[in-house]
Amino acid sequence: MHRSFEIIGKVMTVAAGIGYALLALGPSLSLFVSVISRKPFLILTLLSSTLVWLVSLIVLSGLWRPFLPLKANVWWPYTLLVLSSVCFQEALRFLFWKLYMRLEDVLDSFADRISRPRLFLTDKLQIALAGGLGHGVAHAVFFCLSLLTPAFAIIALAFVTIHTFSMVIAFEGYAKGNKVDQVIVPVIHLSAGMLTLVNFASEGCVIGVPLLYLVASLTLLHCGKMVWQRLIESRNQSGPTLR
Amino acid sequence: MDRTQRPRSVLDSLGEELIGILTPVSICMFTVVLLVCLLNSDPFSSASFSSIATAAYSETDSDSPWDKLLGAFLNSLVFVAAITVATFLLVLLFYLRCVRFLKLYMGFSAFVVLANLGGEISVLLIDRFRLPVDSVTFSILLFNFSVVGVFAVFMSRFSILITQGYLVVIGVLVAYFFTMLPEWTTWVLLVALALYDLAAVLLPVGPLRLLVEMAISRDEDIPALVYEARPVIRDDSRLVQRRVWRDRRSSQNDDDLENNEVVNVVRAEEDEQRSEISVPLIERSRPESSETFLEGIGLGSSGAIKLGLGDFIFYSVLVGRAAMYDLMTVYACYLAIIAGLGVTLMLLSVYQKALPALPVSIMLGVVFYFLARLFLEVFVVQCSSNLVMF
């Protein structure tokens, strides 16, 4: 019944399957339960973000379908694949941000209409986080769900982290016009994609995976620093007025 | 040093009603997928499921694709015709004000679904997991379960959580049995039902539209199985959830409220006796009323969002059938259906009239299923087998 299990050619126990899935998606699940499930709007953002990125993956696979299956053990078509996919997705991320700005305007005017405060900084950051989590989950499920293997689960975990937090960086970068943030996100995405190509070499994953995790932790650090700075800034701005 | 209580942001409670209806739909779909995965692992043991939906043609593996397609068309035609007849019968009975008879029939059909279909699935599960249960205990438990279910569905003072739970269970049971139809028949049937729903609600002569107009003009409820999400009323400081949508209806202006209702008919079947039970189902959604009280962009509605059980059932059938292929298609179809449901609810708040809930979701779901099956799988296998990811 499950074609994926035929491909692996081994019997996978349910416990192992759940274990691998949790390996890839465990942190996202805890993020979901602690932050996203508290606010219904964030759940809706997560679902729409996952849908958008799934559609992007479908479009990519449709575009590449005539060229597949690629010859085995030849790595340069995969470079093209990763390059084109990353470019497409970064362009889509910009469009996604534009859509989000429109939504922010709608929400702000709605808040004015019912005389509630406008969106706080933390709200905007949370929406960006939900969007990024949707991106990460879409990729993890797409690449990892059919073939639940430990190797893939580990790689997927790194990618989930990268996608979740680079969305936050990207939104802030586009909103503030900060060139560094705007450029760093595609660079991170591209380098992460290219790093997985290292896995082609025999024993390549011994180098590739730790480097990937290095990129993921860099993303986390950069995002954390940026958010911390923004929060301090906004507190200094609004501190004296709120008592 | 900190502010004591930050004013509540707009984001805290927006979209609550939508989540209130998405959660049970997701639970229903997830349960059906789980049942399909658990009970269908042995492809040779599936008995042939004969019902009115396979009356015209029963699919065998050796037929050519064209034969299968033709047979599926015939099956769907028969099924949709039967449903149309049943709905017109329902309209007639409602017109003649035999409401009591309808309510009794609904109770009877709920009991049959819970006892019969529930019993069959329980037996299959007991067999699969080798649970030690004797038949006397089993029949007592099943009987009690079904009777409580009938009461939950029909007594308005019952605890809302149990009512909602039983409605989801009924949806799961019927949906699981529909997934046992042959493959081509299922897909053509889903598309045919989506088209039927579109016609029956939007055409002036459609039975569902007549039913809805009669119910509005008499200001009555259609006796039907409807899932009602909890209505939410807000104080300034906290959320109070009460089931008061009936009271609210009488206390507010008629100008502000409009009932938008969609009725969807579903048929539950038993194998042995070949008898048919038709269960009418409604979707009703109230757009925003007074602005001082509530928030409305189309997400916040006063009172409850109600979704008919037929919609639950057919969404779950689609996802269950996708589960029989691969989990990737389940993921794609689930997102497509949720998106379709969101689009339908948004259209509802824009057009302010009765809209069918099936077509958008089913069409999106079918499209995504075939896209996933044709495109995604090859791509994923290519990347996964070489540990390439982006």
3-state secondary structure A97-143: HHHHHHHHHHHHHHHHHCCCCCCCHHHHHHHHHHHHHHHHHHHHHHH
Q: In whole angstroms, what is the distance from residue A101 CA to residue B22 CA?
A: 25
Asked if the model's pLDDT at residue B258 lies above 50, the reply is no
Contact B106, B99 (CB under 8 A): no
* CB–CB contact B7 A116 (8 Å): yes
Q: How confident is the model at residue A113 (pLDDT cuts 50, 70, 90)?
A: confident
Query: Using one digit for the tens of pLDDT, what is the confidence trace for A194-237?
Result: 888 887 777 777 788 888 899 999 999 999 999 999 999 888 88
Q: In whole angstroms, what is the distance from residue A157 CA to residue A140 CA?
A: 8
| Prediction pTM value | 0.83
Chain A: give the shortest CA distance to residue B327, in Å: 7
pLDDT confidence of residue A138? 92
pLDDT confidence of residue B297? 28
Average the pLDDT over B123-150 and give the result. Answer: 92
Highest mean pLDDT among A90-104, A140-154, A225-239, B42-56: A90-104
Residues of A in contact with B327 (CB under 8 A): 2, 4, 145-146
Which entry of B61, B197, B271, B326 is annotated as an active-site residue?
B197
pLDDT confidence of residue B293? 27
How far, CA to CA in Å, does A48 sit from each of A27, B316, B338?
20, 20, 9
Average the pLDDT over A159-185 and give the result. Answer: 91
Percent of chain A with pLDDT over 90: 42
Q: Which helix (H) or strand (E) holds B369?
A: helix B358-371
pLDDT confidence of residue B59? 63
Asked if the model's pLDDT at residue B192 lies above 80, the reply is yes
Q: Note if B326 is an active site residue.
A: no
pLDDT confidence of residue B3? 46
Query: For residue B7, what is the nearest residue in chain A, using CA coordinates?
Result: A117
pLDDT confidence of residue B302? 44
pLDDT confidence of residue B255? 33
Q: Note if B134 is an active site residue.
A: no
Residues of A in contact with B383 (CB under 8 A): 78, 81, 143
Count residue pairs from A and B with Cβ separation < 8 A: 167
* CB–CB contact B10 A117 (8 Å): yes
pLDDT confidence of residue B233? 55
Average the pLDDT over A86-106 and give the result. Answer: 92
Query: Using one digit for the tens of pLDDT, what is the confidence trace for B262-311?
Result: 333 333 333 222 223 322 333 333 333 333 222 322 233 345 677 888 88
Q: In whole angstroms, what is the distance from residue B159 CA to residue A133 CA?
A: 36
pLDDT confidence of residue A135? 94
pLDDT confidence of residue A77? 82
Q: How confident is the model at residue B159 (pLDDT cuts 50, 70, 90)?
A: confident
Q: In whole angstroms, what is the distance from residue B316 CA to residue B337 CA?
A: 10
Query: Using one digit for the tens of pLDDT, what is the confidence trace for B359-377?
Result: 999 999 999 999 998 888 8
Q: In whole angstroms, what is the distance from residue A59 CA to residue A66 CA?
A: 13
Query: Using one digit for the tens of pLDDT, what is the confidence trace for A88-97?
Result: 999 999 999 9
Peptide bond between residue A69 and the one before it cis (omega within 30 degrees of 0):
yes
pLDDT confidence of residue B166? 92
The angle, 0 to 180 degrees and rounded to 10, between the axes of the packed helices A121-144 and A204-238 is 160
Nearest to B55 by CA among B81, B89, B88: B81
Nearest to B168 by CA among B28, B18, B23: B28
3-state secondary structure of B388: coil
Question: Tokens in use for A127?
Answer: 């929406």
Does the beta carbon of A119 lie under 8 angstroms from any beta carbon of chain B? yes
pLDDT confidence of residue A206? 79
Q: Higher pLDDT residue, B358 or B281?
A: B358
In this structure, of A45-59, A179-193, B54-68, B206-220, the range with the lowest mean pLDDT score is B54-68
pLDDT confidence of residue A5? 46
pLDDT confidence of residue B49? 61
Average the pLDDT over B341-349 and give the result. Answer: 85
Does the beta carbon of B84 lie under 8 angstroms from any beta carbon of chain A? no
Average the pLDDT over A161-165 and give the result. Answer: 93
Q: Is B283 left (phi over 0), alpha (psi -120 to 50) or beta?
A: beta
List A residues 125-144 in contact with B (Cβ-Cβ < 8 A). 126-127, 139, 141-143
Average the pLDDT over B126-150 and give the result. Answer: 92
Average the pLDDT over A119-134 and give the result. Answer: 91
Asked if the model's pLDDT at residue B98 lies above 50, the reply is yes
pLDDT confidence of residue B242? 37
Contact A192, A215 (CB under 8 A): yes
Query: Using one digit for the tens of pLDDT, what is the confidence trace for B216-253?
Result: 888 777 777 778 777 655 444 333 333 333 333 333 33
Asked if the model's pLDDT at residue A17 lies above 60, the reply is yes
The angle, 0 to 180 degrees and rounded to 10, between the axes of the packed helices B16-39 and B160-178 is 40
Q: In whole angstroms, what is the distance from residue B187 CA to residue B193 CA?
A: 10
Question: Tokens in use for B184?
Answer: 């081509």
pLDDT confidence of residue B301? 36
Asked if the model's pLDDT at residue B149 lies above 60, the reply is yes
**B239-241/B276-285 β-pairing:** unpaired
* CB–CB contact B388 A197 (8 Å): yes
Owner of token pair 């379960």: B145
pLDDT confidence of residue B148? 93
The question of ipTM being above 0.95 is answered as no
Question: Tokens in use for B187?
Answer: 């897909």
Q: How confident is the model at residue B318 (pLDDT cuts 50, 70, 90)?
A: very high
Percent of chain B with pLDDT over 90: 30
pLDDT confidence of residue B271? 29
pLDDT confidence of residue B230? 73
Q: What is the mean pLDDT of chain A?
A: 85
Residues of B in contact with A142 (CB under 8 A): 328, 331, 376, 380
Owner of token pair 């060139």: A179
Which entry of B2, B219, B247, B311 is annotated as an active-site residue?
B311
Q: Higher pLDDT residue, B214 or B4?
A: B214
Chain B: give the shortest CA distance to residue A72, in Å: 9
Q: How confident is the model at residue B146 (pLDDT cuts 50, 70, 90)?
A: very high
